[in-house]
Structure 1
């Protein structure tokens, strides 16, 4: 099978479907030309709100037309009006807030295994390697796009994720370093212009987090979400 054997000097591929990122410059550097489903994708951030939601907007827009999008442990509450302004139906948004890290991990794994969501965004500050492996294994059996937002410092640690990107704020967008991919090493940094991002090199304020805000309706508690929703 062409996706089972690949040389490190060549770009690999994935068994599952790939969703274009919406940015041709980035697609050219990703195996298959986009975000792989049925896999753990890590976005490594210096802090939340530097443009990661703008980066994912095209893919989320395609998914939200037919399937639900799950947010587990976002740094701020989702802002339904902002999602709707982006053309993403608020009724397709599932927000899960957990009191403990173990509950958040449990919730993410259940969403992956349930199969009712088309995308999962999961924010974590401390995740053990064995927990990452469980999530990646669960994702491999699901038809879902799975992004884990983790601290930039975690990029130095080993991870089962086949795709790992380090994001930094940049003027009008983000700078992306490809830490890991199924293909040759990528030494250059990509600079992507993102719609809606200010023309300023500093985009670190949490209030600038495009579709997240401190004001929102109550979240579903972890371990209490009805099976039909996850």
Structure 2
């Protein structure tokens, strides 16, 4: 009798991690990568990061993966809650000229921009902040992500954990000493009972992940490209 994973890559046993047709992008955290199908962040899929508030370390979490991307491919930031901190990106060995900063006038424009970025397929990663979004819109983003090789991260409020989502990978993040506590809410594999503690490398540079009250508000007339 054939094992489910040999019948179709989308099938897997409930007691084991799903197999991925392609290897994921390394997260930079061995404990986290070991818990993800493909051993890393899946390209071509919607990944949800659920936060109690912006600026708890979500960019630091993604920095190791983003640093691996081809420098010819932009990193799109759609509707970030704060102005990107260029000096901080440089301190993390990231190229600020890669940043494509999209500051839409309306929330619905953010969804449209994110979908177009995925359909175009020219960006190495998409980081999109969606405080409010309908499941139908998330489904459209996931379908668009599946047709591309872009790393697609959507940041949503922690309260969204109780809502349905088409995202195959959902992580709930919360602050922890020196890093983040990461609870895997959904993955293609068995449930994970205990959260993971991820500790960030120390840095002498100011952090871009700050509480909203300590960071200037995003200007609506901001340029699209930060350099």
State the TM-score, normalizing by the size of structure 2: 0.87
Gaps of 5+ in 1: 226-230
Aligned partner of 1:158 among 164, 167, 174 = 164
Gaps of 5+ in 2: none
Contact 2:80 2:218 (C-alpha < 8 Å) held by counterparts: no
User: 1:131 aligned to 2:137?
Assistant: yes
Contact 2:77 2:128 (C-alpha < 8 Å) held by counterparts: yes
Aligned partner of 1:106 among 112, 136, 152 = 112
Q: CA deviation at 1:99?
A: 1.1
* Equivalence for 2:47: 41
* Equivalence for 2:101: 95
Q: What SS class does the counterpart of residue 154 from structure 2 fall into?
A: strand
* Equivalence for 1:218: 222
Aligned partner of 2:147 among 128, 132, 141 = 141
For 1:48 and 1:143, the matched residues in 2 are separated by 26
Aligned partner of 2:67 among 37, 51, 61 = 61
Q: Which structure shows the higher strand fraction?
A: 1
Contact 1:12 1:31 (C-alpha < 8 Å) held by counterparts: yes
Q: Does the C-alpha gap of structure 1 residues 68 and 207 become closer, same or farther in structure 2, counting only changes over 3 Å?
A: farther
The alignment covers a number of residue pairs equal to 214
State the TM-score, normalizing by the size of structure 1: 0.86
User: 1:74 aligned to 2:55?
Assistant: no
* Equivalence for 1:228: none
